[in-house]
């Protein structure tokens, strides 16, 4: 099934999931880089 066969609700949910993943991923990345920068 291609992306354009997803219903509007499914696309909305996928976008919400992706948003959570990006936010959490950025927080983790910020902690990682931040800790190293803090000690430099």
Provide, rounded to whole angstroms, the least separation between the CB of residue 17 and another protein: 4
Specify the residue for token string 């931040």.
34
Provide, rounded to whole angstroms, the least separation between the CB of residue 10 and another protein: 5
Rounded Cα distance, 11 and 14, in Å:
5
- C-alpha distances in angstroms, 22 versus 8, 13, 17, 18, 34? 21, 14, 9, 6, 17
What residue ranges bind another protein (CB under 8 A)? 1, 3, 6, 10, 13-14, 16-17, 20-21, 24-25, 27-36, 39
Provide, rounded to whole angstroms, the least separation between the CB of residue 16 and another protein: 5
């Amino acid at each position: 099934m291609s992306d354009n066969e997803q219903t509007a609700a499914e696309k909305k949910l996928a976008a919400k999931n992706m948003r959570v993943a990006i936010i959490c991923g950025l927080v983790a990345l910020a902690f990682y880089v931040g800790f190293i920068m803090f000690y430099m």
